[in-house]
Structure 1
Amino acid sequence: MKSWKLIAHAPKETVQAALLAHDEIEEWDYDLVISGREISEDRPQDWVLEGWFPTKPTATQKRALQSLFEGKAPTISVEELPDTDWVSESQQGTPPITAGRFFVHTPDFDPDPDLINFTIPAAQAFGTGQHETTAGCLEVLSAMKSTGMRARSIADIGTGTGLLAFAAARLWPSARVTASDIDPICADVVHTNAELNSVAIGPLPNQVTMVIADGMDDPLLRLRGPYDLLIANILAGPLVELAPDFSGSVAPGGSLLLAGLLSGDQESAVRRAYRRMGFRLVARLERGDWAILWFRRRRLT
């Protein structure tokens, strides 16, 4: 089927700011799928923001893309694409990733017998493993397990595809794992991926329970806390706002894994917020422009 592409060229920081602005819009037209990338390896500061639309985009769709840019927006060009199965094409162009103990791939690739494998279709919600923050979280989870850390109750806030919740369930098979997301669409995505990866859905240990919630605002999430491990790969702003709620949801001595924040000012703001809540930084991983932070809540004296 035919589709169209909207294209905007801008510096790297401008495109990244537009992508973050998009993530904070709750009522976005999700027929318009956007992504950002560098134009070429030898021009790392020159980026392009691309948006795909299933019908010929109107002036409204163009204005929506332009609204993501602060100040004067770059020129938006429109390109008609040939008849193609873009889902299949995107999956074939999505290479597998190895992160810590994990191998994440689309259905087009064979598993790695030496690693923990997850099959996640490329054309899904955020959290396929391709983004630096998701891959970085998988690495830190692997490092946590290597230290001998124990976890009986785990929460993954903003789960997207469910990948990080599944990974935690595999590393700590005796834990009860709760996955949540603010987007109702993610419930079906998580259940589909759980079946695809032989992950049991349910309330028992070695099972994953999925809920739709804004932050920690859910009776089951509150009932299952405090957590030995809480994961949140979302955005810097919500992470700062949720610091008090997360503080009350992590057991003394428990771990907090945060991602979705850019190194620099965003990281500094997040670290300050959680230091005030009684967390200390255990480890930090940097992947690209993104920081992944492992905190531990101080034990009560």
Structure 2
Amino acid sequence: MEPRQMTDTWKVTLPCTREEADSLSEDGFFISSTDSVPTIVTREADPKTPDDWVIETYCDKEPDPVFLDKICELSPSAKLSDTDPMVEKLADQDWVSMSQAGLEPLRAGRFYVHTSNSAPLDDKAVVNICIDAGQAFGTGHHETTMGCLESLDRLKRLGQGFDNIIDVGTGTGLLAFAARHLWPTAQIMASDIDPVAVQVSAANAATNNIAVGYGYRAIKLETSNGLDHPAIGRRAPFDLIIANILAGPLIALAPQIAAAAAPDTVLILAGLLKTQQRDVVHAYMRQGFRLRHRRVENEWPCLTLVKAKEFGPAKSLKISRSPPASDYFGEC
């Protein structure tokens, strides 16, 4: 790999909420007012306050007022509090590498997730995945993605096999890549509402020597609002569905996900806070799913559900009462 050219760098920092940070990978918002494309990195400000996040934008030209106004649009909460973005000049820096500097490699089950600034582990028992931070959510360095990796690893250790998998809201593609390593002969799709995330996933697949497209063992990438894409409908029903997005979209997508699931389909849900899990689980119980396992990292649960055998497609469900809370918040 050729070294990146050093240049003057400007960093713009703005506080935001976690929901605002996640929305950056959903709306495809292009903030550049110049010919250069900035690098946008979002991170949790403090694990003790999981809703407090920060947007860091790196660019190679001094931000003008139009540029700064557009950045402020990314964080309505900052605008409401009259918080101005902090602008710093970082001279003679490799700013793309610098944006990765705070991302230490991590271990989640058999997976070792690292950036291009860190070496993979020389261990046959470890699955190395290289993911650089950029304009898509899901580097593996947040509790939600880490919880999904641990849950996927757990399913494999329990001896579960899958033939038809989809990762909804794939972000960087990381969870789809993990599924490919765990179930190498499965048919796998990965979708995202943001076309930039799909492009990022394709680039990350190339970095990790994972084929994309329709070929054998290739991951099929699609830009899709939920599961609306016709290609997703043609491949359904899936026997493993992964969705690491926000609680609101998870609840809204429950009927679509249920329609794409067969009896005994395993569903992994993440991106929600502990305070939101009751509403999320309730939405999926109404579609015929039952909670089987819950893993909580700080305030971020990762839920594993299974569609009950007696339930067919979502459109056939007729549930007249809400299940009691004890049905889905007992030990699992």
TM-score, normalised via structure 1 length: 0.86
Q: Give the 5 Å matches for 1:207-246.
A: 207-246=218-257
Residues in 1 aligned to 2:295 and 2:145: alpha-carbon distance in whole angstroms:
12
Which residue identity lines up with residue 33 of structure 1 in the other structure? I
Deviation at 1:92, TM superposition (A): 4.2
Deviation at 1:269, TM superposition (A): 2.2
1:74 aligns to what? 83
- From 286, 294, 298, the equivalent of 1:276 is 286
Which residue identity lines up with residue 11 of structure 2 in the other structure? K
Once the two structures are superposed, what CA deviation does each residue of 1:58-114 show, in whole Å capped at 9, x if it has no partner? 334444444424443334332222221111223344211100111111223332212
Residues in 2 aligned to 1:145 and 1:229: alpha-carbon distance in whole angstroms:
12
Judge conservation of contact 1:15–1:36 (CA < 8 Å) in 2.
Answer: no
Judge conservation of contact 2:11–2:88 (CA < 8 Å) in 1.
Answer: yes
Judge conservation of contact 2:25–2:136 (CA < 8 Å) in 1.
Answer: no
- From 96, 103, 114, the equivalent of 1:94 is 103
1:178 aligns to what? 189
SS in 2 for 1:111: coil
- From 293, 296, 299, the equivalent of 2:306 is 296
Deviation at 1:139, TM superposition (A): 0.4
Structure 1's unaligned 5+ residue stretches are none
Q: 1:134 to 1:164 in 2, by over 3 A?
A: same
- From 195, 199, 223, the equivalent of 2:206 is 195
1:3 aligns to what? 9
SS in 1 for 2:92: coil
Flag the structure with higher strand content. 1
Deviation at 1:4, TM superposition (A): 2.4
- From 63, 67, 79, the equivalent of 1:57 is 63
Residues in 1 aligned to 2:110 and 2:197: alpha-carbon distance in whole angstroms:
25
TM-score, normalised via structure 2 length: 0.79
- From 19, 22, 25, the equivalent of 2:21 is 19
Judge conservation of contact 1:5–1:50 (CA < 8 Å) in 2.
Answer: no
Q: 1:18 to 1:248 in 2, by over 3 A?
A: closer
Deviation at 1:201, TM superposition (A): 2.6
- From 86, 104, 118, the equivalent of 1:109 is 118
Residues in 1 aligned to 2:142 and 2:130: alpha-carbon distance in whole angstroms:
15
Deviation at 1:275, TM superposition (A): 1.4
Pairwise CA RMSD: 2.7
Which residue identity lines up with residue 270 of structure 1 in the other structure? V
2:45 aligns to what? 38
Residues in 2 aligned to 1:281 and 1:133: alpha-carbon distance in whole angstroms:
17
Deviation at 1:157, TM superposition (A): 1.1
SS in 2 for 1:174: coil
Q: 1:212 to 1:44 in 2, by over 3 A?
A: closer
Deviation at 1:21, TM superposition (A): 5.6
Residues in 2 aligned to 1:95 and 1:127: alpha-carbon distance in whole angstroms:
14
Which residue identity lines up with residue 184 of structure 1 in the other structure? P
Judge conservation of contact 1:175–1:205 (CA < 8 Å) in 2.
Answer: no
Instruction: Report sequence identity in percent.
Output: 38
Once the two structures are superposed, what CA deviation does each residue of 1:206-254 show, in whole Å capped at 9, x if it has no partner? 3311112111111111111101001111222211111100000111111
- From 153, 159, 162, the equivalent of 1:142 is 153
